[in-house]
Structure 1
Amino acid sequence: MKILSKEQVYEGDKLTAERQNIASTDLMERAGTQIFNWLHVRMQGAQVPIHVFCGIGNNGGDGLVIARHLVTHGYHVKTYIVNYSDKRSKDFLINYDRIKQRTKDWPVLLDEESEIPTIASEDIIVDAVFGIGLNRPAANWVKTLFQHFRKSKAFTLAVDIPSGLYTDKVPEDEHGVVWAGHTLSFQSPKLVFFLPDTAKYTTQWEVLDIGIDVQYLYQINTQANLIGKHEVLTWYKPREKFSHKGSFGHALIIGGSYGKIGAVNLASHSTLSCGAGLVTTYVPKCGYLPLQTAVPEVMVLTDDSEHYISNIEFNITPTVIGLGMGMGTHETSLKAFESFLNSNKTPLVIDADGINLLSKNNDLLDLLPKQTILTPHPKELERLIGSWNDDFDKLKKVSVLSKKHDIIIVIKGANTITVYHENYYVNSTGNPGLATAGTGDVLIGVITGLRAQGYDALIAAIFGVYLHGKSADLQVENYAYQSMLARHIIDGLGLAYLDLFKQPEEPEQEAQEQQQ
């Protein structure tokens, strides 16, 4: 799914009005009606007080449409105009007149002198104060109103985006942002829903189709994309009847050190489970017996050193090399790593200590083959690019590094984002069960396994992150977040593949199963 920027949203609205020969107020009516329908289906006429807070721009106009339909359908509605400016949008004024024609209870005008409305915890708040065009912090009295929303503990539904939240930067003051329980985003999610600094402002989000021109949505190129089943299914490569293990590549996994052989064990196992035809693992001598015992399907080569990697030499021709997990940062290992990079021409996937070794000598980045994949966790990323001011600054710095060296960087997190040059691919799968030792080792194995099978580097990274997270989503039903282990993710990879072809259940059937 494409994640539109605010400029692209405005352009889409304009083109839709032109191509469908409708007024902008008609598009506003369509958007507000969709949110009303969402509420109406869930409330079924329940007489819970609904407080609709409208700004004086187009987001406020959406709120007035919602409030008018709620009033028309007999709901207990209180509508407020948050009068933060003397300017009003044309479409706001049109809908302000329309709601006054439908009810004797005209919207209450709120300004900094007004008494804050009473809101009970069992009430509902509809936040339609600021939209995506916000470019400056809210006034102090508006911040006080937003804090009142939060203190009330009432369910808060945000229209398009929580008010006070920007689409392209982190708010200066969290008290100036509405903390929504649910956000209904028009046509496209917002990038800020997925970033650690800003995701907290909406517990859940959902996209509503408001009929933006289909041709525009198809043709527009976006900087960010949300990756789900629909996207990755088009990349899946089915297997031919007469294929054999040589058809799916030979992956080499390099890593491990005394006490950390488990990392390469997990990476090797997941590389095979993801579909690589052959896997050879290169480890210090202390890893030979553990690997031959734990993963008998893997071939093993050993270093001359007993406890750590000291000299990377092998007599095979791998399709792809995944390295770094559990390798440590011993000075001898650093020299071996440097020597290896100077002579290597094979595609690479680098994780953990491989990234830490790159951070010790940034000149080594120049030796990486084009489209090498790096999979850092936050601390490893910080060692690589330095500290950042906020998530947007982080993405910018990662993009600069990616473009400079033509590499792919997987920023691991709750919503893992794969960065290639200036493009962001936001993953939609995964859960807190992945917050356990070894899951990163499994991820590099999955990506390496896909590269071995002939997937392009960028697709392997994005697809691998998706499968890894999907396995966790399926396995959490068996193990819960707390008891999930890295090995369970490996065991669930087959389920993740099968899920690609699983048809969604009919809504009625799904509802019946939930009731049972």
Structure 2
Amino acid sequence: MKIYSRAQIYEADKITAEKESLPSINLMERAGGYLYEWVHERLQGGKVPIKVFCGIGNNGGDGMVLARYLVENNYNVTTYVVNYNTKRVPDFLEAYDRLKSVTKNWPIVLTEESVLPEISPQDIVIDAIFGIGLNRAPQDWVKKLFSAINASNAYVLSVDIPSGMYMDRSPEEGDVIVLPRFTLSFQAPKLPFFLPATAPFMQAWDILDIGLDPEYLAKTPTDVELIGKQEVIQMYKSRHQFAHKGMFGHSLLIGGSYGKMGAIVLASKAAMRAGSGMVTAYVPQIGVQILQTALPEVMAETDNFNGKVLEEIDFQTEANAIGIGPGMGTDPKTVKAVEGFLKAQKNPMVIDADAINIIAAHPALLEHVPNLSIFTPHLGELERLIGTWKDDFDRLEKTSKFAKTHDIIIVIKGAHTITTHDMKLYINDSGNPGLATAGSGDVLTGVITGLLAQGYHPMEAALMGVYFHGRAADIAINQYGIEGLMAGDVIEFLGRAYMDLFAKPEEPKAP
């Protein structure tokens, strides 16, 4: 699913009006009408008090149309105009006049001098004050209104985006954002819905298709996409009846050290579960017994030293894909081994954990990293690699530029894992807080390596790997719960995640 910028949404509005030979007020009528249908389907004429707060731009105009439909259908509605400046857009004024024409209870205009209205927990509040165009902090009195809405315990529905939230920067000290129970986002979700500093302001959201021109939406490239089941299905390669293990690649996982062999065990097992035909783990000699006891399906190679860390990386395996880093440590001997290893590599690989830390500490090694290699850092590792950032948006910009400069793929692990390459962002829609557990990153490394070994393009391997990793966790918490989920459980449910890709939705049960 494409995630459009503010400019692209405005352009879609313009093109839709031109193609359909409609005045722009008709698009506002359409959006407000769809809002009404959504609300009416849930309230079914109930007399609960509804307070509609409208700004004086297009978002406020949408709220005015909604309020008029509610009035015309005998709902208990009070409408407010949040008059934060004197520049009212023409379509808002038209929607305002149309509302006044159907009721004697004209909208109440709120200004800086007004006493804020009382809002009770029994009310439904429609937040149509600011939309995606907000580019400066609201006035203090408007912030006080936001705070009153938030303190009321009323059910709050935000139109398109919660008022006070910006499209292109994180909240700063002193900012106040309306906290809705639900947000109805027009046509597509917005980037702030997925970022750590802004996503927590929304309990839930959904998309409301308001009929913007489908040709424009389909043909317009975006800098951000949401990756879910439908996108992954298009990448998936099915297997035929006479397939054999040699057709699905040989994965090589490099890592492990004394006390940290579990990381490479998890990564190796995940590569197998992801469908790699064969898997070899390259580990210090001290880890061979652990590895082969834990994973009889996985082959092992070792360095020629009897130490607790990897002192050289010199393997015989003819691997189709390599993942390096889990549990490896950053011993000086290991650093030297990684340096020699990278200088000999030509094909994209998966680079995780201590391999990232070693490269971050020795930036000159970046010139030896093969193009389209996949880095999978958590936020601490990412900061070591690219430096500090001001906010979520700055982090994404710096990460994207770093990835483009070095022609690599970076998977930024988090609640909504974001993958970037060539200045484009791909947001994953699977996963849950149960993945915040030791070893889950090692599992992800194994999954992506296993997919890369099967011949998937590095971008496909990264996006599919992140999705399957998260989807397996989503299925697993039905058995283990969020708190009880362990990294090994995610591996056990990878097969179910593959099966779920083609599962038919359950039919509703007869009453």
State the TM bucket, normalised to the shorter chain: over 0.9
- Secondary structure (helix, strand or coil) at the match of 1:81 reads strand
The CA deviation at 1:431 is 0.4
Deviations 1:35-93 (A, max 9, x none): 11111111122222111000011100000011111112221111100000101111101
2:484 aligns with 483
The CA deviation at 1:504 is 2.2
The CA deviation at 1:94 is 0.8
Q: What letter is aligned with 1:384? A: L
Contact 1:319 1:347 in 2 (8 A): no
Deviations 1:192-220 (A, max 9, x none): 10011111221211111111111111100
2:221 aligns with 221
Instruction: Name the CA distance, whole Å, in 1 between partners of 2:338 and 2:321.
Output: 16
Q: Report whether the alignment pairs 1:291 with 2:309.
A: no
Instruction: Name the CA distance, whole Å, in 2 between partners of 1:203 and 1:86.
Output: 33
Instruction: Name the CA distance, whole Å, in 2 between partners of 1:377 and 1:277.
Output: 28
1:463 aligns with 464
2:115 aligns with 115
The CA deviation at 1:172 is 2.6
Q: Report whether the alignment pairs 1:421 with 2:422.
A: yes
Deviations 1:432-461 (A, max 9, x none): 111111111110111001000000001110
Instruction: Name the CA distance, whole Å, in 1 between partners of 2:306 and 2:102.
Output: 83
Instruction: Name the CA distance, whole Å, in 2 between partners of 1:142 and 1:9.
Output: 26
Q: What letter is aligned with 2:310? A: I
Q: Report whether the alignment pairs 1:69 with 2:65.
A: no
2:254 aligns with 254
- Secondary structure (helix, strand or coil) at the match of 2:167 reads coil
Q: Report whether the alignment pairs 1:56 with 2:56.
A: yes
1:381 aligns with 382
Q: What letter is aligned with 1:124? A: I
Q: Report whether the alignment pairs 1:185 with 2:185.
A: yes
- Secondary structure (helix, strand or coil) at the match of 1:234 reads helix
- Secondary structure (helix, strand or coil) at the match of 1:22 reads coil
1:270 aligns with 270
Percentage of pairs with the same residue: 54
The CA deviation at 1:346 is 3.2
Q: Is the deviation greater in 45-54 or in 405-414?
A: 45-54
Q: What letter is aligned with 1:416? A: T
1:20 aligns with 20
Contact 1:281 1:301 in 2 (8 A): yes
Contact 1:250 1:318 in 2 (8 A): yes
Q: Is the deviation greater in 271-280 or in 122-131?
A: 122-131
Q: What letter is aligned with 2:445? A: I
- Secondary structure (helix, strand or coil) at the match of 1:52 reads strand
Q: What letter is aligned with 1:6? A: R
Contact 2:374 2:462 in 1 (8 A): yes
Deviations 1:114-135 (A, max 9, x none): 0111111221111000111111
How many residues are paired up? 510
The CA deviation at 1:175 is 3.7
Contact 2:351 2:375 in 1 (8 A): yes
1:130 aligns with 130
- Secondary structure (helix, strand or coil) at the match of 1:279 reads strand
2:404 aligns with 403
Which stretches in structure 1 are left out of the alignment for 5+ residues?
none
Q: Report whether the alignment pairs 1:32 with 2:10.
A: no
Deviations 1:341-376 (A, max 9, x none): 111223210111111111110111111000000000
- TM-score of the aligned structures, taking structure 2 as reference length: 0.98
Q: Is the deviation greater in 87-96 or in 18-27?
A: 18-27
2:245 aligns with 245
Instruction: Name the CA distance, whole Å, in 1 between partners of 2:34 and 2:506.
Output: 23
Q: Report whether the alignment pairs 1:448 with 2:449.
A: yes
Contact 1:187 1:208 in 2 (8 A): yes
Instruction: Name the CA distance, whole Å, in 2 between partners of 1:465 and 1:148.
Output: 40
Q: What letter is aligned with 2:339? A: E
- TM-score of the aligned structures, taking structure 1 as reference length: 0.97
1:502 aligns with 503
Deviations 1:459-497 (A, max 9, x none): 110111001101111111111101011111111111111
The CA deviation at 1:173 is 4.0
Contact 2:171 2:197 in 1 (8 A): no
Contact 1:411 1:417 in 2 (8 A): yes
Change (3 A) 1:474 1:383: same
Instruction: Name the CA distance, whole Å, in 2 between partners of 1:156 and 1:147.
Output: 12
Contact 2:311 2:333 in 1 (8 A): yes
Which stretches in structure 2 are left out of the alignment for 5+ residues?
none
1:340 aligns with 341
Instruction: Name the CA distance, whole Å, in 2 between partners of 1:100 and 1:308.
Output: 77
1:349 aligns with 350
Instruction: Name the CA distance, whole Å, in 2 between partners of 1:379 and 1:264.
Output: 20
Contact 1:179 1:200 in 2 (8 A): no
The CA deviation at 1:174 is 5.7
Q: What letter is aligned with 2:444? A: L
Q: Is the deviation greater in 39-48 or in 481-490?
A: 39-48
Q: What letter is aligned with 2:418? A: I
Deviations 1:143-202 (A, max 9, x none): 111011111121211100111111111233464321222110100100010011111221
Contact 1:318 1:346 in 2 (8 A): no
Instruction: Name the CA distance, whole Å, in 2 between partners of 1:343 and 1:420.
Output: 24
Instruction: Name the CA distance, whole Å, in 2 between partners of 1:388 and 1:432.
Output: 24
1:438 aligns with 439
Instruction: Name the CA distance, whole Å, in 1 between partners of 2:171 and 2:267.
Output: 39
Deviations 1:244-281 (A, max 9, x none): 11101111000011011000000000000000001000
Instruction: Name the CA distance, whole Å, in 1 between partners of 2:73 and 2:474.
Output: 39
The CA deviation at 1:28 is 0.8
Deviations 1:277-325 (A, max 9, x none): 0100001112111111111100011122331111000112111100100
